[in-house]
Amino acid sequence: MNIANEVRPGGNRYVSYEGSVKELADYLKPFKKIAFVTGKKSFKIFSDYYQKEIDNVFYYDGTASYEDGERLSNLIGEADVVVGIGGGRVLDTAKITADNLKAETVLVPTLISNCAPFAPVAAVYYPNRSFRGVGYFEKSAYLTLVDPTLLLTTPEDYFVAGIGDTLAKWYEIEGILRFLNDEEKTAYIRLAVSSAKMIKELLLEDAEQGIEDLKNQQVTPAFIRLTDTIIALAAEVGGFGGIYGRSAGAHALHDGLSYLEETHEELHGKKVAYGILVQLAYTGDLGEIVTLLPFYDKVGLPTKLAELNVSNTGFDYLVPVLNHAVSPEESFVLLDSSITPEKLYEAIVKVESLGNK
């Protein structure tokens, strides 16, 4: 059994409308033993909006690690459902915890930054916050509860990071597609490619307006489209495409960057967005980078390592990043099985030399 290759379109139920979180108690009626997994900042934002008392609240340690999931499941002991409230790492921790407890999962995002609220997988880290791998679970979320009004509390930099992370769906699957023969391009992979292309078009069309709407605290059609694109559509591309739809060069570089401590406070989607440029440089698509740079500038995505708090761009310093990104267990090999640290570094140098902010 290879669960990584199974078609997993998303959670069991995706609910998205203004005020949905206010009705959380109604959605939880089928369950008797309920445990809430959250972060302190996330829970404060949720509580200010929900304005009802809840019990059995457990706080994660910020790592999204198997170790923290085990700690939480031991504290909880038994539950019918684990309700995750927060951003990507909180929600991935809730998935790990629920899997340990053999419980259902209800996921309530408090910000728009990635597809974790709907994806049936988790980005798992070690306790030191370096990347460990993708976690797979037999169960998808019982319910993903999205409330655009609550999500207006998303900090702008998280929203921008979500745009960057989601943009990678097209560039990564398109890059992989070049190396698949027609027999490998199954119906679901073709659907994933079509969906990823639409995602790119939606982001390029709505991103600037959506960011402006967030600043003005307005729920608009553009804001809702971006919300559903970042949270749900992105997750479904990975669900349809399996290992071919989840990550390639951009995410591999992100994972490598996690080995530099100075990047730990930098947002996932911003590191992935930089990784898109590096992947395009590696595949020789410099013209596409030039096309993307104005969009990056307008929405605030990074085009230089310095914008990710990495000031030393020398080869020797970046060796831990490069070695991990090109390792056999990482996804850059889906683009080139013969990739080396030296080849990847050449791509980084090309990106660093393009334009200046």
Detail the residues annotated as belonging to a binding site for glycerol: 165, 251, 268
Can you tell me which residue has the tokens 């591309």?
Answer: 237
Structure tokens at 346: 């050449």
Please report, in range form, the residues annotated as the binding site: 88-92, 110-113, 125, 165, 251, 268
- DSSP code per residue over 50-111: H-S----EEE--SS--HHHHHHHHHHH---SEEEEEESHHHHHHHHHHHHHHT-EEEEEESS
Would you give the distance in Å from CA 46 to the centre of its chain? 20
Q: Are 154 and 165 in contact (CB under 8 A)?
A: no
Strand partners, 135: 122
How many other CB atoms are there within 10 angstroms of residue 226's CB atom? 28
Q: Are 122 and 135 in contact (CB under 8 A)?
A: yes
Phi, psi of 289 (to 5 degrees): -60, -45
Structure tokens at 51: 């304005």
How many other CB atoms are there within 10 angstroms of residue 241's CB atom? 26
HSE-up of residue 283 (Cα within 13 Å, Cβ side): 26
Please report, in range form, the residues annotated as the binding site for NAD(+): 88-92, 110-113, 125
